[in-house]
Amino acid sequence: MKKLSCLSIMFLAIAMVSCSTKNFNEREIVGRWFSVSWLREGQDTGLAAWFEFNEDKTYRSVIDRNQEEGKWWIDGYKLYTQAAGEERIVVKIELLDAGNLELRMNRGGQDELLIFTRGQ
């Protein structure tokens, strides 16, 4: 019984590590994305954003009325953006599929989740 418990714990640990290190395909993010929700510590902020990720690794965005352009790349489960003349920003990709994108970040010690849907 003890051996079975140890095996179960090891399997669970491996499964958790495997899930948290998902590699996302960069082609999946190319296109326009419009926010449907922006949560801070689980509460709706009322803020809005949109992104357009291009195949040439450039992007345009409007985040809470601030326009930005720069370069983007994905490494594993992390999305990096870097506006011209600015420091790079990294966010965790929680979900990326044909129609949905969820990005998690920690800003000022507060957890934020941005939920997007693919646009036309």
Of 18 and 37, the one with more pLDDT: 37
Confidence at residue 59, expressed as pLDDT on a 0 to 100 scale: 98
Q: Is 29 exposed, middle or buried (0-12, 13-18, 19+ CB in 10 A)?
A: buried
pLDDT tens digits for range 44-103: 999 999 999 999 999 999 998 899 999 999 999 999 999 989 999 999 999 999 999 999
pTM, two decimals, is 0.80
SS3 87: coil
Percent of the chain exceeding pLDDT 90 equals 75
- Alpha-carbon distance 73 to 87, whole Å? 14
Give the HSE-up count for residue 103: Cα atoms under 13 Å, Cβ half-sphere.
22
Q: How many other C-beta atoms lie within 10 A of the C-beta of residue 41?
A: 10
Q: Domains of the chain (ranges plus CATH)?
A: 25-118 (2.40.128.280)
